[in-house]
């Protein structure tokens, strides 16, 4: 029987359990055995109890569970060749020749590297006497399939990553809560949201809550952003608005690359010579990442998990490593390497202050 390994890696995201459930059950249904690798790459490196065979009922009820029930870690050991050698050895010892990995772009890049190195890793394991040639013979090729699990929605090539809509929903819910108290006291709130280098969460939360002002990394505000923001908020207040909401992506900065902090914005809004607004800061933090998955994330996690197993079964030695995407409501297979390159391009463009390019790559031109 074919043995497929399943793991979650990097930061957890809501919907990862739905993806595991779909992979486990689709693989079993297709006549394969499925092994979950606990704690991401750390479990692959450590082997033994970290690699466990899963049966159909093991994942019962997992769709409604937040986080990842098989654990995740950011494993430094796997970044080094000795760590990857141990990973390869544990795969052979467990008879696993295909891996489905649910994680962010970093985790998936690591996976593709592992695949590229695979024959060399096996040769080295034989040369050093860790494994025999006989043991490695049936494992000529390694199949990898990526599922993108991240709240940041920062992967190029897919409209949504597993978890991003749950996090967005959570942010909106929190902003609604804040709005009630903000209105009561006629206060301003500066709300920091996650997203690393990506402004998707902040931007969409701004749209969905009707925030007064939003800061994102892909589109730093013009040089006169202070006047622009204060002018706009003053206008909103003149219309009779009793609350002010400013959403700040954690990666936001000005056009010169200086970080825009919540404190900076708070000081501006509170300035006695200016708007003089009673202002508070709320950093939403990990409430955005924890908790149960919304219906959309459960749905894509399931459909993409099914597709990931199909991609494993369809793979030939020449198939480039795919990741499972969603594009215009269709579940698709895309080459992983290209998506990783494009994702890195965005980060590079932001770093090089080429915001036009970054915005284009992020499909956020419409915010102008
Ligand atoms: O990538 C997901 C994410 O939640 C980012 O939005 C955030 O910058 C980061 O992970 C936080 O990481 P940690 O949980 O390790 O502090």
pLDDT digits (tens, 9 = 90+) for 315-326: 998 889 999 999
Return the ligand 1 atom nearest residue 196 CA.
8
Q: What is the pLDDT at residue 204?
A: 97
pLDDT at 363: 52
For residue 246, the model assigns a pLDDT of 98
pLDDT at 366: 44
Per-residue pLDDT tens digits for 355-368: 778 777 765 444 44
Distance in angstroms (rounded) separating the CA atoms of residues 358 and 349: 5
pLDDT tens for 42-77 read 999 999 999 999 999 999 999 999 999 999 998 889
Q: What is the pLDDT of residues 74-116, one digit of tens each?
A: 888 998 999 999 999 999 999 999 999 999 988 998 898 899 9
pLDDT tens-digit map of 240-280: 999 999 999 999 988 888 899 999 999 999 999 999 999 99
pLDDT at 362: 61
Distance 92 CA to ligand 1 centre (A): 32
Instruction: Render pLDDT for 148-164 as a digit per residue (tens, 0 to 9).
Output: 999 999 999 999 999 99
The pLDDT, as a whole number, for residue 75 is 85
Q: Mean pLDDT across the stretch 22-49?
A: 97
Specify the pTM: 0.95
Residue count of the chain: 368
Among 8, 103, 104, 152, say which to mutate for ligand 1: greatest number of ligand atoms within 8 Å of CB. 152
Q: Choose, from 12, 152, 154, 297, the residue flagged as catalytic.
A: 152
pLDDT tens, position by position, 340-351: 888 888 888 888
Q: Whose CA is nearest to atom 12 of ligand 1?
A: 11
Site residues for ligand 1, CB cut-off 6 Å: 11, 104, 150-152, 194-196, 250, 289
Active site residue 256: no
**341 alpha carbon to ligand 1 midpoint, in Å?**
21
The mean pLDDT of the chain is 94
């Amino acid at each position: 029987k074919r043995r497929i390994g399943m793991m979650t890696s990097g930061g957890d995201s809501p919907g990862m359990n739905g993806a595991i459930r779909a992979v486990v059950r689709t693989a079993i249904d297709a006549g394969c055995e499925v092994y979950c690798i606990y704690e991401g790459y750390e479990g692959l490196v450590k082997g033994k109890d970290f690699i466990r065979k899963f049966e159909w009922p093991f994942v019962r009820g997992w769709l409604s569970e937040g986080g990842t029930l098989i654990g995740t870690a950011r494993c430094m050991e796997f970044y080094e060749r000795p760590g990857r050698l141990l990973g390869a050895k544990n795969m052979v010892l467990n008879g696993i020749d295909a891996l489905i990995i649910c994680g962010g772009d970093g985790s998936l890049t690591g996976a593709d590297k592992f695949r590229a190195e695979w024959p060399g890793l096996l040769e080295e394991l034989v040369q050093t006497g860790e494994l025999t040639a006989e043991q490695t013979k049936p494992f000529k090729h390694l199949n990898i399939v990526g599922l993108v699990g991240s709240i940041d929605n920062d992967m190029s090539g897919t409209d949504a990553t597993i978890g991003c809509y749950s996090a967005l929903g959570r942010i909106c819910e929190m902003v609604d809560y804040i709005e009630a108290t903000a209105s009561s006291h006629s206060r301003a709130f500066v709300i920091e949201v996650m997203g690393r280098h990506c402004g998707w969460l902040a931007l969409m939360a701004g749209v969905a809550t009707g925030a007064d002002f939003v800061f994102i990394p892909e589109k730093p505000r013009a040089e006169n952003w202070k006047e622009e923001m204060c002018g706009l908020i003053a206008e909103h207040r003149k219309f009779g608005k009793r609350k002010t909401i400013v959403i700040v992506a954690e990666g936001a900065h000005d056009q010169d690359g200086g970080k825009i902090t919540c404190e900076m914005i708070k000081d501006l809004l509170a300035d006695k010579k200016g708007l003089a607004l009673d202002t508070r800061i709320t950093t939403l933090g990990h409430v955005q990442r924890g908790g149960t998955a919304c219906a959309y994330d459960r749905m894509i996690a399931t459909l993409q998990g099914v597709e990931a197993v199909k991609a494993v079964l369809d793979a030939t030695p020449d198939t480039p490593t795919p990741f499972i995407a969603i594009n215009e409501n269709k579940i698709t297979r895309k080459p992983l390497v290209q998506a990783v390159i494009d994702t890195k391009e965005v980060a590079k463009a932001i770093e090089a202050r080429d915001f036009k390019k970054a915005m284009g790559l992020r499909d956020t031109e419409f915010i102008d």
